[in-house]
Amino acid sequence: MRHPARAVGGAGAVGGAGAVGGAGAVGGAGAVGGAGTGRRRCRNVLCGGGPPGPPRFASPTPPMPENAPDRSAAPPVRSAVLLGGTGLVGGHVLRLLARDGRWGRVVTLGRRPMEPASHRHEDHVVDFDRLADSADLFRCDDLFCCLGTTKKQAGSKEAFRRVDLEIPAEAARLARAGGAAQGLLVSALGADADSRIFYNRTKGEAEEAFRDAGFEAVQVVRPSLLTGDRDEVRPGERAAEAVLGALRPALVGPLRRLRPTPAVDVARALVAIAAAAPPGDHAYGPRTIAWWARHV
């Protein structure tokens, strides 16, 4: 039974500069391991690694789902809309989609123009405060939302919620109204709409907004702290990466999911999952992200 959509207008502070461009903000302080009961739990065994508890696969290698990509058949050409294409994860997603023949059209929406990644790529500058004015651009098969910021970047809780919750929620509604069957969202390990931790609660509310949009398939990836080369410097995340990197040998068993997640693996997993398009609502933790990343 689907729960009513939560209000997406909100307050909530999380720090700094505030541009909508980039995914990869998913890892921040307090993002790992949320509190709260969680009103929704994923119905799929592919949730391995997501909260609460350890991955649920019995074997080290998760089984290949029956509806994984069939390389022997030529799939129909699809279209995709990508938000956050200038960010850490979104940049990788764009490059993968732009050279993948399963998508004949890849549309990026952002505040600033960007260079085309291929002949399949078309870029549009939009006003995220008037996103409904660009509703026609959301006509697609798959919506990829890789937006994310940090407390320091956003400057306030309201600004953080705008980037990580309100814009994704509005994009999901517009894409669904434009015919999109599948919504894919970069969230974070520990996301929980009932969490007392502001970051985790906001991420959980964004997940709920995607589920409430009415897609035939919702794919949520929940990485741990993201690693990769950024255009911007995030001292807090660098420090957390160093600490978790030093602790990596000790992060085994249920703690393995706390190991940093390479952004390129998140992107590869998103594209592989999008191609498989398992119907229903699904969430993927770090362990399952790593598995899907090998099957793009």
Residues taking part in catalysis:
199, 203
Q: What angle do CA 278, 284, 286 make, to 5 degrees?
A: 145
**Inter-residue contact 46 to 62 (CB < 8 Å):** yes
How many Å separate Cα 35 from the centre of its chain? Answer: 20
Q: What is the dihedral sign for C-alpha 150, 81, 179, 177? A: positive
How far apart (Å, rounded) are the C-alpha atoms in residues 128 and 39? 29
